[in-house]
Every structure is written in C-alpha cells, then in structure tokens.
Amino acid sequence: MHRLTIVALLILSAVVPAAAKKKPTQKTNRPNKVQTEAATRLQVFLDRANFSPGRIDGRYNNLTWKALSLYRESQGGQPQSPPSKSGPHANVPPDVHGLDLGSVEPVFVPYTVTEADLQSVGRLPDNVAAKAKLKFLPYRDPADAIAEKFHCDVHFLEQLNPGKLKKIKPGDQLKVPNVEPFELASVKAIQPGSETASQAANEVEDQPETQPSTPGESAGPRNVSIKIDTKTNMLGVFEAEKLIAAYPVTIGSAQTASPIGEWKVRGIAKLPRFRYDKEMLEHGKRSGNFYMLPPGPRNPVGVMWIALNKKGIGIHGTDDPRSIGHAVSHGCIRLANWDVVRLATKIKAGDNVSIH
C-alpha cells in the first residue's frame, strides 16, 4: 500500500471515532410548545387582573415574576421572588397554586384583521425633524399595530404566526393572546378624571397642589394613590392601603433621574403632542432648538400623558414597548400604551403620587 494512503487511513481512524463521540450541540433555553402556552396563560391571567407582565412573550420573564409577586401580595399572600438565575430567557415556572388559571381558556384566539387596524399604520421616519412635519405618528407596520393591540411582543406574534406578518391585509386571520384588545380608536372616548389643556403635554406650567374639582366630579375625599418603586420598576395603584393594580414602568436614567418625592396628579392629556428638546431631555436645560411632535401611538410619550405637579414630568405611554422595565427615560415614568390607558381610568386630578 502507498505510504500516503496509509497515513490518510491512520488520520481517518483517529478522526471518525472522535466525531462519533462528539456531544450534540448544546440545547438552547427556548421553551417548547407546552411551556410557551403555560407561560402565556399566566401572563394573560395577570394582564386581565390588571397586574401587567408587560409585553406578552410566552416566557416566565422578570416582569412576569414581579407582576405575579404583587398579585399574590394583593390577595394577602406572600410575595414570590424569581429564581436567582432568572433573566429575559428564563423558563423556570413559578408556583401558581391557588390561581384560577382555568379562567384563561383558550389561551390563544383567532383574530381577523380589519381595515381600521391598518388605518393607524404608515410611514414613520427615524429623523425627529421629519417626524415633526407629519400630522400623526403612526405604527411602523401592521405587525407593530397588531402586537400592541394584543399587548404582545412582535417577535412572539411572529412565532405564533410564522410567515404571515410580512404582508398583513384586511381579512387575514392571526393567532393572538386572549387579552382585552387595546383599541387605539377608543382612546379619545376614554373619560379620565380631568384633562389638561391641548398644548404640548410637557409644556403645562406648574400648578398648586389643590385644584377645584372638575364639574360632575365628587368633591369628597379619595383614597386612590400611586406608588412608583424605582428599584423594581413597578407602579402600584392603591385604594386606601389595598393594592388594586400594578404595571411595569421605565424610570429615569442616572443622567436624568425620575424626581424622588411626593407629587400629585394634575390632569390627563389624550393623544398628546410632545415638545422634543434634545438639550432638555439629555441635560435638563431648556433650549430654543426644539421640534413639536404630533400625536399618535409612536409619539415619544405614547397615547396618554398623566401630568404631575412638576413641569415637564409625567406618567405616560411609549413609542417603544420593548423599553418598559428599564431605567432609560428622561425623568418621566413610562408605561406601555395599553397599560397607561388602563391606569388613566383609575385616577383623578389631586391623587397622590409617591416616587421612591
């Protein structure tokens, strides 16, 4: 046998057994179908109970653990801490004993896309100056609109509907989480306790803590208050001392921290305009170089602005639901649009807001 052939055979005899013994590729932490449905069931349950897990994504993520813990606390139980290695891709199921998860049936429902769903979709430039020239800041695409309507992560929506999101049209049927839909068209009809003037939401001047009641509003004492925990990024709504709702929030960054202290709700603006002043947003110093951004779901403050008695500071929606739960705002308190609308129906001008 030729010498080179012998050498080649010796090499192969060493490589093939090694390859045969090679361990299979390490499995990812991606949950299977059963795990995904179980996690989604819990997220839908919490969302319906007004203890929001943020974007529904079919995972036992940190915001789901926080919402569950606060829900248990509201029911007189013990808070449940997440596992030490819990992260955005964790799939460790929590203890759900005592929860009526059977009320969430089915977990997913079919939804037929309508013409109205696509009316709020349009061209959305990245440039702020270009945005200021528009009359309305729409959703980026149909998937963006449908995902927000069902409180859902857009990538999860794609996972539920493989290959269907690229060209969504009226009449298409999609699989979505079984939550109460967020209807953008109904925002104008919401009746919060009182509304602010039509000027830019972050331009309203400071006002005294006490204000006359709105016509038709009870002048009697209220026991509703908001408490925002900047350590956990959660907002709680209390009736007397009872926790009745909780929502994940984004708070101010280290450079533009949210104002710690005791404040009051001044009023609520629906589909607000926003004064975009880069110098003010980044350094807290007002400048003459600004853009007035029109209303819409992709306005930086979303579809609702809850003004506090501190100029420029409010509790508001967002143009990026992915940011919720992180300290990246410019001092304000930011919620998902579907959550800030629900919050607005629970509070009135004069209610206390504690940021700690």
Condensed to tens digits (0 to 9), the pLDDT of residues 75-88 reads 998 877 777 655 55
CA atoms of 221 and 63, how far apart (whole Å): 33
Supply the DSSP symbol for 213. P
Mean pLDDT over each residue of the chain, to the nearest integer: 83
The one-letter amino acid code at 305 reads: W
Tokens of 135: 């009359």
Going by C-beta distance under 8 Å and a sequence separation of 6 or more, which residues neighbour residue 174? 110, 111, 112, 113, 146, 157, 160, 161, 164, 168
pTM for this model (two decimals): 0.83
Cβ burial 91-126 (10 Å sphere, 16+ → b, else e) = beebeeeebeeeebeebbeebebeeebbebbeebee
d(CA 88, CA 71): 20
Helix H or strand E segment including 270: strand 261-270
Neighbours of 201 (CB within 10 A): 29
Average pLDDT (106-116) is 97
Where are the chain's structural domains? 33-82+98-103, 108-177, 184-209+221-355
121: pLDDT strictly greater than 60: yes
Distance CA 217, CA 54 (A): 31
- Name the DSSP class of 101: G
What gap in Å lies between CA 177 and CA 107, rounded to an integer? Answer: 6
pLDDT tens-digit map of 159-184:
999 999 999 999 999 999 999 999 99
CB-based contacts of 241, cutoff 8 Å, min separation 6: none
Give the percent of the chain with pLDDT over 70: 76
Largest CA distance in the chain: 104
What is the per-residue pLDDT for 83?
73
Does this chain's domain 108-177 share its CATH topology with 184-209+221-355? no
pLDDT range class, residue 31, cuts 50, 70, 90: confident
Instruction: With a cut of 50, say whether residue 19 has pLDDT above it.
Output: no
Opening angle at CA 186, ends 249 and 133, nearest 5 = 75
The residue among 260 and 311 whose pLDDT is bigger is 260
CA triplet 53, 56, 61: central angle to 5 degrees?
60
> Mean pLDDT throughout 301-318?
91
In words, the CATH class of domain 108-177 is alpha beta
Contact at 8 Å (CB) between 117 and 142? yes
Inter-axis angle of helices 62-74 and 33-48, nearest 10? 50
Question: With respect to CATH, is domain 184-209+221-355 assigned 3.40.1160.10?
Answer: no
Amino acid at 245: A
User: pLDDT at residue 326 above 80?
Assistant: no
Mean pLDDT value of segment 200-209: 54
Q: What is the layout of strands, in order, in the sheet containing 224-229?
A: 242-248, 234-239, 224-229, 352-355, 261-270, 304-308, 314-316, 333-334
Higher pLDDT, 81 or 317: 317
DSSP 3-state assignment of 154? helix
What's the mean pLDDT in 63-90?
A: 81
Q: 51 and 71 in contact (C-beta within 8 Å)?
A: yes
Compute the distance between CA of residue 304 and CA of residue 266 in angstroms, rounded to an integer. Answer: 13
Beta-strand relationship, 352-355 and 224-229: parallel
Q: Which segment of 48-52, 100-104, 213-217 scores lowest on mean pLDDT?
A: 213-217
277 pLDDT band (50/70/90 cuts)? confident
Write out the two tokens for 71. 């829900």
Does 235 have pLDDT greater than 90? Answer: yes
Distance of CA 22 to the CA centre of its chain: 43
